[in-house]
Structure 1
Amino acid sequence: MTDIRTRELRRPVDVAEYLFRRLHEVGIRSVHGVPGDYNLVALDYMSQCGLRWVGNCNELNAGYAADGYARVNGIAALVTTFGVGELSAINAIAGSYSEFVPVIHIVGQPHTRSQKDGMLLHHTLGNGDYNAFASMSSGISTTMARLNEPHEIATLIDNAIRECWIRSRPVYITLPTDMVSRKIEGERLETSIDLSQPPNDPEKEDYVVEVVLKYLHAAQRPVILVDACAIRHRVLEEVHDLVESSGLPTFVAPMGKGAVNETHRCYGGVYAGTGSNPGVREQVESSDLILSIGAIKSDFNTAGFSYRTGQLNTIDFHSTYVRVRYSEYPDINMKGVLRKVIQRMGPLQRNAVQRISNTLPGQEQGSSEQTVTHAWLWPTVGQWLQENDIVITETGTANFGIWDTRFPSGVTAISQVLWGSIGYSVGACQGAALAAKEQGNRRTVLFVGDGSLQLTLQEVSTMIRNNLNPIIFVICNEGYTIERYIHGWDQSYNDIQAWDIKGIPIAFGAKDRYKGYRVTARDELTKLFADKTFCSAPYLQLVELHMPREDAPAGLKVTARETATRNK
């Protein structure tokens, strides 16, 4: 059988087959996108390469879904058509670039001869320029692979996929219609793409490790602060070993939620400047050394740039450099440095950390109030979540509310704090739920606002079509709450049309594989959380969760206030 397989690979293969086999090799099993006449023939090759076509309602949603799939699966692929398709997806791809998410964007293009002749084809600008759209994507793609010349196609494909994985950012691959079935040598498929991280220079790495250890051993109150790039650049194993070996108080930034086992004895909560729990803020800001791993210090990730930590007391670990106080060491990856720090660390000064729980705030305990508020909701959600859940939160109240939830172990958190494209979470939920299904049906839970839902609701249809079973909580509070807190509290531009939300999946053809709920009181939600069928997520479930229009998490209020001030 091996000899047959080897002979098969050594035969010339079509370009589309080569490309899709490489996608399968790196772990992709489902491909998102929308069909168009410049990619249709290529799509015929997917099933024979072990790939499944998802088929989204539009390209923007497909891009969001690919992003969510990549955050769970490790890497994703998106197929669109030239011009109209790729430009519809470009916002989603920009978000993936901004937040270091590896998505392979494949664009079906017109025949290479048509491009050279500048023919006036549909989906063009009418000026014969076939490079305009690729130029638009060049700034949000870490590599551009134009598959125009058969002799270089295999090299370009392999390099693009490797760069997507190593740099954890989108790449752009064009596939002209006349190249889809062109033959290239298949023998190269016998050798897997090298996805290993280039090693650091050993001498330089050892020097940086010694500098880090010098300050770490001198510190009296060191802490660890973990952020999103620790997840994106795949150093969570090193992070977990560092926390366990050092015993240091460990915190996460909002974008780093889920990077650390929140049931661990060292976990102290979410640090977001003035948006933090007071105990968390005190311990982080009084520390004399912060080991900052994968930081992204954006406005929403720092509650309006309200961090009160100094670079003089910080060691920053990143994918391309390490900064120790004010000295920067370029071209060195944090993975190798962290591993050697763990191996050579020895005893350290350790301080106790305040354990985080999902206990209700004092004013909520024993209350007979039935209105669902954010102060009550998020600790209650924390009590309901299960190990290995995937929890997705939309930009707005949910993104900030989840700060107050302590996760069980193994939870994956998905949010778009930096790019913050409204409606992202619904598409991302579809992609994440599909990846979860491929991994063994981990439970997928989405919290989205009623305003955000209206932008990308169509992807609920894709969930139904693909037999996905997420639990979707729609926070119904009459519009764009985060926008109201920034500006225009009573302005009509922050209002939305009220929908019969729980009835919409029926219109999408959900039939008997769906159940909807309307929750207006705490007792109703508590009863739902105790329902074993609901918790087992046997089919798509949607919960209208009605909350006061004026209520919002404390972190959102702080960040919105800072944003409003900066906007002036």
Structure 2
Amino acid sequence: MSDQTQSGTTSASAPPAPRVTTVTVGQYLATRLVQLGADHVFGLPGDFNLSLLDQMVTVPGFHWVGSTNELNAAYAADGYARIRRGIGALVTTFGVGELSAINGVAGSFSEDVPVVQITGMPSTSARAAGLHLHHTLIDGDYEHFYRAYREVTASATIVRTATATRDIDAALMTALRESKPVYLGIPADVAIAPVHAANLRTPLLAASSDASELARFTAALAEAVSAHPQVTLLVGPQVHRRSLEPLVRQIADHDGVYVASQNMSKAVLDESHPASLGTYMGAFTRVAEARAAVDRSPLLVLAGTVMSDFLTGFFTQEFDEDAAVELALTAARIADTTFYGVRLEDSLRALHSVLGESAREPVQPVGHPAVPDAAAPAAGRPLSQEHFWGSVQNWLQPGTTVIADAGTSFYGALDLVLPDESDLLGQPVWSAIGYTIPATLGACVAAPGRRSVLFVGDGAAQLTVQELATILHRGYTPVVFLLNNDGYTVERKIQSPAAVYQDITPWDWTLIPAAFGAADKVVTATARTEDELAAALELARATTEKAVLIEVVLPALDSPRLLTVLTEAIAAAAAKH
């Protein structure tokens, strides 16, 4: 770009910098990702994406994060996007690579995470000729996997040179607008093709609300709010996707407002805040008064909620969803009137504004009992889930990213009262076990200065543990609690606890880092008893320059309080059918 004086003429002290007029398609895509904050891209090389990667890595600010397999890359991109509150991206090769990643991308679709799945494809001429190439089904059809991705993304596009900049921008705008994954298939010849660079001078921006609809909604909302002495805001995970936590905190500071969270958005408001009701899960909400403040609210506002089984306590909510004010990603509703084109960020701002225009009495704080404090550790006494989570409650520090895998880990973590400025990252809707180890990589890459604490079961870890090698060799220092309860405890609690399919092969978990060539980058410990856990927690607190891996040995049929009541409900429902 030219160096110009304020008068708009070229400075005599320096020659004009040349204006880049063309870039390759790969460079265009990488530049757009960097502009959107997805400056770290996960994945694996393969012969059909090498030309694409060679172009992408030339872009300033672009960083490649090699993963151990494509599924892990998809999970890592998902975790990265959640922590960055923006877009995540991965690159795979055609066929074998993209199919390995599709489960992770489907989870991102299920949980509203904008991940860009980029597939390097065979050349346009090879595809047109239907050549029987490797990584194909040897039937001349190169669109099998593209069609599969159409089922789990908001848009799927095979990029053509003639429309490449438009194709890329449209896909990225869709991901931003809908907070869903998108798919870009880029043939090898298209990846290196030159395209105009002019569009890159203007970064992409998220769509704005329809002004007239927003005005209508705001007026109707003001009328609804003015008629009620108390408002309860139930906050769902889509608020995270739009980075609206600060706005939720501002709303919580108004008199007459309570704030509860769904379990996928736990601690969206610090749980020590006077307005906080903690986590709402219908009949499984821990504090009866907190549940009543949601179910009996004079005016309930559903902000970015997802009304799925695990997020509603298996549909045991007692509030009338149709009577609530609903603030969704791209529309808002008050009773039976829907306001289309009103985006969540604007509807929440409208709520903040109208609450400030009327006076209410302060709410009475509702207590949130922590997991009961663990008793003083006894030498030689075997660990239990209750003692473990009670000890963790006292050990956690403010500003922690807590990451918990599906099963005992997630439902144990849900009962914690998280310290201020902490987050819980999990995947309760898609509930793919093994998600969290690569998601921890994504979280560490996204926020390297913030320590992650991971809870993962032994069965889940066996699916994706190899990504721990990437975490350690890149120098990240999470604390990992490996909950070794000898198999699939959730399934044992639901049905057939002694069945052979509930068992897993035993591993020596503390030797895993050595097998990864990273023994010098991590401190390990095993806790079988209460006193060993106490020592391990002290070790973890004192160790900040290395990662910490603690194997926690627990009984196979023991489970945290919340998981116990949930699995009992699942088993009872199954018995009726």
TM over 0.5: yes
Q: Which amino acid aligns with 1:115?
A: R
2:302 maps to amino acid: S
Question: Once the 2 structures are TM-superposed, how far is the Cα of residue 500 of structure 1 from its aligned partner?
Answer: 0.5
Q: SS where residue 20 of structure 1 aligns? A: helix
SS of residue in 2 equivalent to 1:79: strand
Q: Distance in 1 between matches of 2:122 and 2:558?
A: 52
- Asked if residue 484 in structure 1 is aligned to residue 492 in structure 2, the reply is yes
CA distance 1:236–1:167, shift in 2 (3 Å): same
Q: State the match for 1:214 in structure 2.
A: 223
Any unmatched runs of 5+ in structure 1?
Answer: none
Match among 461, 468, 472 for residue 469 of structure 2? 461
Residue 309 of structure 1 is matched in structure 2 by 319
Counterpart mapping for 1:231-380 below 5 A = 231-279=240-288, 280-311=290-321, 313-345=323-355, 346-356=358-368, 358=370, 360=372, 370-380=381-391
- Counterpart in 1 of 2:561? 554
Aligned pair 1:497/2:509, yes or no? no
2:414 maps to: 403
Return the match for 1:451 from 454, 459, 476. Answer: 459
* Residue of structure 1 in register with 2:20 after alignment: 10
Is 1:56 matched with 2:63? no
Residue aligned with 2:66, SS: coil
Query: More deviation in 405-414 or 205-214?
Result: 205-214
Write the deviation string for residues 230-284 of structure 1: whole angstroms up to 9, x where unpaired. Answer: 1113332321211112452221111111311223221121111122113322333
Is 1:288–1:313's contact at 8 Å kept on the other side of the alignment?
no
Output the CA distance in 2 between the equivalents of 1:367 and 1:503: 26
Residue 381 of structure 1 deviates from its aligned partner by 2.2
- Give the count of matched residue pairs: 559
Secondary structure at the counterpart of residue 10 of structure 1: coil
Q: Shift of the alpha carbon at 1:405?
A: 1.2
Specify the code of the residue in structure 1 equivalent to 2:555.
P
Give the distance between the partners of 2:467 and 2:340, measured in 1 at CA: 42
Q: 1:183 to 1:366 in 2, by over 3 A?
A: closer
In the superposition, the TM-score normalised over structure 2's length comes to 0.92
Tell me which stretches of 4 or more aligned residues in structure 1 moved more than 6 Å. Answer: none
Q: Percent identity?
A: 33
Match for residue 543 of structure 1 among 535, 547, 550: 550
| Aligned equivalent of 2:106 | 94
Q: Distance in 1 between matches of 2:372 and 2:573?
A: 33
Give the gaps of 5 or more residues in structure 2. 4-13
1:192 to 203, 208, 211: 203
Query: Once the two structures are superposed, what CA deviation does each residue of 1:479-517 show, in whole Å capped at 9, x if it has no partner?
Result: 111111221111111111111111111111013111111
Distance in 2 between the 1:5 and 1:551 partners? 72
Q: Matches of 1:271 and 1:124 in 2, distance apart?
A: 47
Task: Write the distance in 2 (CA, Å) between the matches of 1:290 and 1:376.
Answer: 36
**Partner of 1:336: helix, strand, or coil?**
helix
2:36 to 8, 13, 26: 26
d(CA) in 2 for partners of 1:98 and 1:252? 19
Q: Which residue of 1 aligns with 2:143?
A: 131
For residue 83 of structure 1, what is the aligned residue in structure 2? Answer: 95
| Higher alpha-carbon deviation: 376-385 or 497-506 | 376-385
Alignment of 1:423-438 (within 5 A): 423-437=434-448
Post-superposition Cα deviations, 1:90-124, rounded to whole Å, max 9, x if no partner, equal 00000001101111111000010110111111111
Corresponding residue SS for 2:254: helix
CA distance in 1, matches of 2:152, 2:177: 16
Secondary structure class of the residue paired with 1:482 = helix
Distance of 2:495 and 2:337 partners within structure 1: 41
SS at match of 1:405: coil
Quote the offset at 1:83 in angstroms: 0.7
CA shift for structure 1 position 2: 4.6
The 1:206/1:12 distance shift into structure 2, 3 A limit, reads closer
How much has 1:529 moved relative to structure 2?
2.9
Instruction: Give the counterpart of 1:388 among 384, 394, 399.
Output: 399
CA contact (8 A) 1:63 1:78 kept: yes
Q: Say which SS state the counterpart of residue 257 (structure 2) adopts.
A: coil
Structure 1 pair 474–311 and aligned structure 2 pair: CA distance change class (3 A): same
The worse-fitting range, judged by mean Cα deviation, of 160-169 and 43-52 is 43-52
Please report how far the alpha carbon of residue 555 of structure 1 lies from its aligned counterpart in structure 2 after TM superposition: 2.1
TM-score (norm 1): 0.93
Report how far residue 375 of structure 1 moved.
2.9
Counterpart residue type for residue 145 of structure 1: T
Q: Distance in 1 between matches of 2:246 and 2:230?
A: 24
Q: Name the counterpart of 1:169.
A: 180
| Structure 2 counterpart SS, 1:302 | coil
8 Å contact kept, 1:79–1:105 = yes
- In the alignment, is the contact (CA less than 8 A) between 1:443 and 1:537 conserved in 2? no
Q: Which amino acid aligns with 2:58?
A: Q
Shift of 1:562: 3.4
Cα RMSD for the two superposed structures: 2.2
Q: CA deviation at 1:137?
A: 0.2
SS of residue paired to 1:258: coil
Q: Contact between 2:456 and 2:481, CA under 8 Å: does it hold in 1? A: yes
Shift in Å, 1:347: 1.3
Query: How many angstroms does 1:18 deviate by?
Result: 1.3
Deviations 1:22-59 (A, max 9, x none): 11111122211111100112222333213222111111
Measured against aligned partners, the alpha-carbon deviations of 1:533-555 in whole angstroms (never above 9, x if no partner) come to 64553222211011222221232
CA distance in 2, matches of 1:526, 1:5: 66
Q: Distance in 2 between matches of 1:339 and 1:273?
A: 27
Q: What is residue 523 of structure 1 aligned with on the other side?
A: 531
1:419 maps to 430
Alignment partner, residue 11 of structure 2: none
Worse-superposed segment, 96-105 or 288-297: 288-297
In structure 1, give the amino acid aligned to 2:31: R
